[in-house]
């Protein structure tokens, strides 16, 4: 039986580096075993072909932030739902970020800026403590943009009331920018809105909400490519250095 060794030991021998650097290379996705990338330093190898990519870097990989186009009807708070959608197979092919997908990107993600189950659009899953702090502690300072499909007849002063900020359930929403996109769609740019509140404020001016889609959080949009908007159920990376 052929003796096996840890992959990190084999990489250290190949690269002439320390075991710690070898483990970093492996976790950062720079090492392949018989042509397949392996990200586990403890992986055992014998006579397999182990290759360290020529462009390999030892620098630490930034924590990942995934921008997901949540489909309507999906509850990300349900058991296993985040793992169902935040997976390599759902990575948007037109992602312009140039971030290399790694298995480590799908662990320890925090759901930020959640949407109600019936709504669709941009939600955030992040490992980055700076992003998590920004979208929790400073959440009320960040503008969100929505397209809301409605039915019914708006009250004559409805647009003015929506723009000025409506008080519902003892809580006043701040003024927002709202306009008709077409005969049945309103576009909102609003801060400090919570799940369910767009339905409530539309109801206050005589409208029933048919659907809600979030297009933007702060400076970060859902994303568009050559084929149009990023499809529902797919995600892209937040490029390193971009902030909400």
The DSSP symbol for 59 reads S
Q: What is the pLDDT of residues 57-115, one digit of tens each?
A: 887 888 999 999 999 998 887 667 777 788 899 999 999 998 888 988 998 899 999 99
The span from the CA of 174 to the CA of 170, in Å, is 13
The dihedrals phi and psi of 130, each to the nearest 5 degrees, come to: -65, -40
pLDDT of residue 28: 85
Comparing 226 with 178, which gets the higher pLDDT?
A: 178
The predicted pLDDT at position 121 comes to 96
E strand or H helix that includes residue 82 = helix 81-85
Share of the chain above pLDDT 90, in %: 59
Q: Where are the alpha helices (DSSP H) in 126-217?
A: 129-136, 158-164, 197-204
Confidence of residue 179 (pLDDT cuts 50, 70, 90): very high
Name which of 208, 180, 220, 195 is nearest 65 in CA terms.
220
Domains of the chain: 5-52 (3.10.290.10), 65-139+220-237 (3.30.70), 143-217 (3.30.70.1560)
For β-strands 50-52 and 31-33, DSSP reports them as: antiparallel
pLDDT mean over 197-205: 90
pLDDT, tens digit (0-9, with 9 covering 90-100), for 11-66: 999 989 999 999 889 888 889 999 889 988 899 999 889 999 988 888 788 899 99
Provide the Cα torsion 27, 32, 33, 35; round to 10°: 150
pLDDT in tens, 134-172: 999 999 999 999 999 999 999 999 999 999 888 766 777
pLDDT at 213 exceeding the cut of 60: yes
Q: Which of 197, 16, 42 is nearest to 116 (CA)?
A: 197
> What are the tokens at 63?
């924590």
Statement: residue 1 has pLDDT above 70: no
């Amino acid at each position: 039986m052929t003796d096996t060794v840890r992959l990190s030991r084999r990489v250290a021998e190949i690269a002439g580096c320390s075991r710690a650097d070898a483990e970093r290379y492996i976790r950062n996705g720079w090492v392949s075993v018989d042509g397949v990338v392996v990200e586990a330093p403890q992986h055992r190898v014998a006579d397999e072909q182990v290759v360290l990519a020529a462009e390999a870097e030892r620098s630490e990989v930034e924590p990942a932030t995934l921008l997901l186009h949540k489909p309507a009807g999906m509850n990300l708070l349900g058991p296993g739902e985040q793992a169902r959608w935040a997976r390599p197979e759902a990575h948007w092919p037109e992602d312009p970020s140039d971030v290399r997908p790694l298995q480590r990107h799908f662990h320890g993600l925090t759901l930020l800026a959640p949407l109600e189950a019936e709504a669709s659009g941009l939600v955030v899953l992040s490992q980055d403590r700076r992003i998590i702090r920004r979208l929790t502690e400073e959440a009320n300072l960040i503008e969100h943009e929505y397209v809301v499909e409605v039915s019914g007849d708006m009250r004559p002063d409805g647009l003015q009331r929506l723009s000025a900020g409506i008080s519902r359930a003892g809580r006043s929403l701040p003024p927002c920018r709202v306009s008709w996109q077409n005969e049945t769609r309103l576009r909102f740019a609003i801060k400090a809105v919570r799940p369910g509140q767009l339905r409530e404020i539309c109801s206050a001016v005589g409208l029933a909400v048919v659907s809600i889609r979030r297009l933007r959080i702060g400076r970060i949009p859902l994303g568009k490519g050559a084929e149009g908007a990023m499809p529902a159920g797919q995600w892209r990376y937040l490029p390193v250095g971009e902030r909400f």
